[in-house]
Amino acid sequence: MKETKYIVILLLVFHWLSVPVLGQEANESGRIRVMSFNIRYGEARDGENHWVHRKETVIETIMNYLPDVLGTQETLEFQAQYLSENLADYTYVGRARQADGQGEHVGILFRTERFDKLIEGHFWLSENPDQPGSKSWDSSLPRMVTWLKLWDRKNGRSFYVVNTHFDHRGSQARAESAALIRAFVASLPEDAPVIIMGDFNAAIGSEPYRNLFGQREDSLAIADTFAETHADPDEQSGTFNHFRGENAGARIDWIGVTSEFSTIEADIDRFNLDGRYPSDHYPVNAEIEFADVDAPEESGR
């Protein structure tokens, strides 16, 4: 009986020690782990899949991967608060999409010990992007972008993070939104490293996908990290799972990077607990590094 107790204690100690070791490994490397995760609208009438029944699994999913930068979609204020309280090593940045401060965020979390926030910004996916709550084209709801400029203490470099969620009904709105985000990225300082992620509600090869990742006159190169690392990126790669573990649909959740980054690996995270999924979307992950890893550190921020 005593031997059994000792074994249990040793296993618990190993588990407790393994968590900071994994986190330390992620931070000791100059690579950046990125996760994009539609955590599902917290007030949806999802029955046994309601937020209260799966919020702990959302945290477990995130901690399993230990991203350095995390973008979330469909995040209500109380969900953002829960993430902040239960991901103590991260700083959360986000705001509601409605003009009155209500509605969903497209929040960004980053490791507080590794990164400094230099600039925070938001704009709306409309013909009046600086107007909170605005919508245009055939969009059914206001949609927005949250973006940050971060300073990476590990690499002595700065980079940008862009997080978004496209409209689920308006096909023109999705196409125009992709073009607007591409224009925003093109407007940033030349050679600025940029990560673009989100729920784009569009399939690979669609007009929004081409507008973001295709070749254009601006000469901007944005790579789809999943396509970069998979020989057949469309095979069984659906990211909307209906809480049922499906994977035959479209890959609508993407992580893109400009050419200043190289993709090491990318994947779709299908973690579940006995068939219970943390969201109706799979999170998508990518591990990236600065393409010129031997470049000297920036002299300023």
Q: What is the pLDDT of residue 21?
A: 39
Q: What is the pLDDT of residue 236?
A: 78
Q: What is the pLDDT of residue 299?
A: 63
Q: What is the pLDDT of residue 23?
A: 44
Q: What is the pLDDT of residue 5?
A: 44
Q: What is the pLDDT of residue 13?
A: 39
Distance of CA 66 to the CA centre of its chain: 12
Q: What is the pLDDT of residue 296?
A: 64
* Nearest residue to 198 via CA among 181, 221, 220, 179: 181
Report the SS3 class of residue 87.
coil
Is residue 116 a contact partner of residue 301, using CB atoms and an 8 Å limit?
A: yes
| Measured distance CA(210)–CA(256) in Å, rounded | 12
Using 50 as the pLDDT threshold, list the residues of the chain that sit under it.
1-2, 4-24, 26-27
Report the SS3 class of residue 228.
helix
| Measured distance CA(203)–CA(242) in Å, rounded | 16
Q: pLDDT digit string (tens) for 99-145? A: 999 999 999 999 999 999 999 999 999 999 999 999 999 999 999 99
Q: What is the pLDDT of residue 10?
A: 42
State what percent of residues in the chain have pLDDT above 90. Answer: 83
pTM of the model: 0.90
